[in-house]
Amino acid sequence: ERDELHLVYQPQISLNTNCIVGAEALLRWSHPKLGDISPNEFIPLAEESGLILSIGEWVIRTAVQQAKSWIEYGLSPMIIAVNLSAVQFRHQRLPEMITEILSDIGFPPEYLEIELTEAATMKNPVNAYAVMDKLYEEGIRMSIDDFGTGYSSFNYLKKFKVYKLKIDKSFIDDIHTDPEDRAIVNAIISMAHSLGLKVIAEGVETQEQLNYLHTHGCDEIQGYYFSKPLSTEEFEIFAKNEKNS
């Protein structure tokens, strides 16, 4: 209501083509007195108070509208990824709300990706299964965020219509020195591929990390190595430069 929220966008790069294939929308709160507040701090409060439902709807609408504008502006179509809290995921009208936004804006559903955490899907797997089914029928993609840090059941992973796994940053940080992290990352990549899923690594900051992931067949990366989350204007410049290079 006070217009203090905005989104920033972090590019997702394909390791095959070196092109931007998507952007993750990340929420920011610029408070007039407290300054910028991290989503890690205010999202849990928004979840407790129930405000997350209206904030979350605003996030989806704003991100989809932005992605649509970028297509009209001449950028190559790309996936727009949006984070969803477990509270939103448990809300019955979620699939309807999302499809309404897509049809209002006239945005192709296959370019929207919903990022869920393992906790969001595992708390009530039967309900999660139904919601994911509906979203899948609409053509919307789903990915599992922070993969490897939650408590996934392989049985449910098999049933969920997941499109992509996002390997958590904590496994990437020491990938060039820690043999256990390497083993875990290799296992996630090969399991994902065997299940027909794509894999993206989060929090990639160095050339060494990128090289390792590239050599071991990871599909996409996201992280400061390529770019921090960007404002709309910065993102347009980044995407245009990339297109020309």
- Asked if 28 and 227 touch (Cβ cutoff 8 Å), the reply is no
Is residue 125 near ligand C2E by the rule CB under 6 A?
no
- Total residues binding Ca ion (CB under 5 A): 5
Distance in angstroms (rounded) separating the CA atoms of residues 178 and 181? 5
Give me the least distance between CB of 166 and Ca ion, in Å please.
6
Residues 23-52 contacting ligand C2E, CB under 6 A: 26-27, 38-40, 43
Is residue 22 near ligand C2E by the rule CB under 6 A?
no
Query: CB-wise, 82 or 239, nearer to Ca ion?
Result: 82
Distance in angstroms (rounded) separating the CA atoms of residues 36 and 5? 10
Nearest one of 100, 80, 86, 71 to 7, comparing CA atoms: 80
Give me the least distance between CB of 99 and ligand C2E, in Å please.
19
Instruction: Give the tokens for residue 187.
Output: 């296992």
15's contact among Ca ion, ligand C2E, none, with CB below 5 to 8 A by partner kind, is none
Is residue 205 near ligand C2E by the rule CB under 6 A?
yes
Query: CB-wise, 57 or 99, nearer to ligand C2E?
Result: 57
Is residue 223 near ligand C2E by the rule CB under 6 A?
yes
- Asked if 210 and 220 touch (Cβ cutoff 8 Å), the reply is no
Distance in angstroms (rounded) separating the CA atoms of residues 240 and 120? 36
Instruction: Give the tokens for residue 28.
Output: 């920011």
Residues that bind Ca ion (CB under 5 A): 83, 115, 145-146, 202
